[in-house]
């Protein structure tokens, strides 16, 4: 019997609202889907994250009178970017993009459902102390290395990668299977920060598969 694989593919937030035509579109967000689907086809373990906000979430600009999307406000857990209403529970925008090969996932982590706290990372809410349970699941399954892809590079991919490293997992970020929002240079900074923390940045040209 072949040894159980210790690597998992973590596909982050490939949802309608983060793709062109959605409420919070990441430029070129849907362009990564063919690449991600090829990776899913080659992966032994596939995990997905899904932004899953209740209506009126405190990270929405609409919840703060006089504020507009992309403003920032101080929240009890720190500075929070305010977003357009997006990925509201049960909405079409919260669904995975229909072209994503989502049926191969063995776990879906829904995040951001606490109405008072945003959640970029697959591992922790933005208060940096409330876990999603992903770390325990991975350890129980014997997973030691994560390959990350999805949306957006400079927010949910970034925080997931940094937390995975802090939790003791090896991390590969498939840079060309991600897309970023790039607010004031945030994309370049995110790539530099992930690499500095110990993540391996990889492109499809580096992968013989």
> Which active-site residues does the annotation give?
13, 111, 156
Count of CA atoms in the C-beta half-sphere (13 A) of 98: 3
Tokens standing for 5? Answer: 């694989």
Query: How far apart are alpha carbons 45 and 105 in whole angstroms?
Result: 7
Kindly report each contact of residues 59-65 with a partner whose C-beta sits within 8 Å and lies 24 or more positions away, as own/partner: 59/83, 59/112, 59/118, 60/84, 60/85, 60/86
Tell whether omega for the bond before 61 is within 30 degrees of 0, i.e. cis.
Answer: no
Of 38, 53, 33, 43, the residue nearest 10 (C-alpha): 43
| Contact by Cβ (8 Å): 132, 122 | yes
Q: Which residues contact 2 (CB under 8 A, 6 or more apart)?
A: none
């Amino acid at each position: 019997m072949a040894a159980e694989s210790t690597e998992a593919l973590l596909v982050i937030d490939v949802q309608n609202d983060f793709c062109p035509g959605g409420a919070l579109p990441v430029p070129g967000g849907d362009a990564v889907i063919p690449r991600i689907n090829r990776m899913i086809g080659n992966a032994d373990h596939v995990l997905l994250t899904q932004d899953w906000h209740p209506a009126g979430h405190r990270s929405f600009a609409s919840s703060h009178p006089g504020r507009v999307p992309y403003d920032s406000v101080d929240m009890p857990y720190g500075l929070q970017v305010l977003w357009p209403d997006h990925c509201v529970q049960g909405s079409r925008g919260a669904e995975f993009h229909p072209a994503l090969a989502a049926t191969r996932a063995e776990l879906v982590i829904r995040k951001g459902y606490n109405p008072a706290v945003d959640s970029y990372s697959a591992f922790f809410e933005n208060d940096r102390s409330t876990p999603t349970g992903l770390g325990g699941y991975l350890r129980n399954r014997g997973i030691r290395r994560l390959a990350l892809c999805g949306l957006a590079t400079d927010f949910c991919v970034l925080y997931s990668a940094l937390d995975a490293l802090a939790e003791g997992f090896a991390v590969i970020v498939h840079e060309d299977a991600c897309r970023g929002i790039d607010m004031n240079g945030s994309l370049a900074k995110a790539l530099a920060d992930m690499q500095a923390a110990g993540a391996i940045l990889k492109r499809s040209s580096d992968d013989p598969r």
